Structure 1
Amino acid sequence: MSSRPAPRIAVLPEALAVLGIAAVGCETALALVGGLAVAGVGAAVLVAAALLAARYVHGAEAMDSDYRRKVRLVSSREPTLRYWDAAIDDARESLAGYELHLRPLLQRLYAVRLAERHGVSLYTEPGRAAALLGPELWPWIDPAKPRLSKDAPKVDPRLAPGPIPDRTLAALVERLETL
């Protein structure tokens, strides 16, 4: 694994000055309208917000590698065992069944396992993910490969036509377990 420095969030002095002036203005308005007690509550809220913002900026590298989007590895709807059984049956019947039903489920499991155990993103670091999976299994999981559509299924020339071989399916599951 290569150790690359994570980008840091730049805190501009001008931004801090504007926030400081806005905070002083708000406190002055609160003191004029509501008195000293309301100004005290306003000051407590501003201090709490400043501490949360500082913690967010300081801990961002440890928490999410400075990416400010929600990482969604597992969707909210978990497939049941019955769905997995149907997806495996579809994959054994045709390549289109694998592409449409089983491949997205396996990609999700591989994405979670690679992220948890190796700190590798299946989607943003495909080279590292391919090296961990191996060249014989990567074409079956590769997220960059276009998915088949339900309307016009086409066979990917990298994959053998027909259903997914049982040995390949077993190898995908075994590799997932060993990652």
Structure 2
Amino acid sequence: MPARIQKFVNSVVRTPGSVRHSLVVLGTVAVGAEVLLALADGAAAAATGFALVTAVALVLARYAAGGGAQDSDHRKRVRLLGSHAPALGGWRRIVAKTLADDSEVHLRTVMRPQLQRLFAARLAERHGVAMHRNPRRARALVGAELWPWIDPGASAPQPTLPEPVLRALLDRLEAL
């Protein structure tokens, strides 16, 4: 066996679980299956098997490249969020209700969780920071004066959200 091929085989064998190793194993299995189909059932079965193997390979390659993600192929960001990116549906209604209703329940159950989701999405999307896993880095990015309002590990500093604080939070969210 030539030295180049031997070196390649050794590098693949030494690193099981690597992408190269996985591709070599899958390729070997696919070629073996094709040979068995050709020997057992002829050229028609081998052609059908080849078409099937090609289709599965394309689907797996697309998934591995990020095609299965919900945020335009940015799989890492989805993992940072832990769920789908939050939508802004009903945002105007939520803000209007927050400003009109000085209810602690509304702030705790609606407004604050929505702000936390939006900040978590923005921090993950633009800065690669998971707000819940790395609160120190998130606090540094958001700012110490606004962080208590969205801190997932503590309650809000006041029972109601003043309008200047809400404006500052939204301005900071936009700036991130």
Q: Could you state the TM-score of these two structures normalised by the residue count of structure 1?
A: 0.62
What's 1:175 paired with? 172
How far the C-alpha of 1:143 sits from its partner, in A, is 2.3
Are residues 35 and 86 of structure 1, via their aligned partners in 2, closer, same or farther at CA, if it must alter by over 3 Å? Answer: farther
- Counterpart CA distance in 2 for 1:134 and 1:36 is 67
Q: Could you state the TM-score of these two structures normalised by the residue count of structure 2?
A: 0.63
- The structure with the greater share of residues assigned to helix is 2
Contact kept, 8 Å, 1:73 with 1:108, in 2: the verdict is no
> Are 2:34 and 1:37 aligned?
no
Contact kept, 8 Å, 2:80 with 2:130, in 1: the verdict is no
Residue ranges of structure 1 left out of the alignment (5+ in a row): 1-8, 146-155
Contact kept, 8 Å, 2:81 with 2:121, in 1: the verdict is no
- After superposition, give the CA deviation of every residue in 1:128-167 in whole Å (9 maximum; x if it has no partner): 211011111111112233xxxxxxxxxx4x613x322222
What's 1:122 paired with? 131
- Counterpart CA distance in 2 for 1:118 and 1:48 is 36
Partner letter of residue 165 of structure 1?
P
Partner letter of residue 38 of structure 2?
A
Residue ranges of structure 2 left out of the alignment (5+ in a row): 1-16, 67-72
- Counterpart CA distance in 2 for 1:48 and 1:69 is 30
State how many pairs are aligned: 154
Identical-residue share of aligned pairs (%): 42
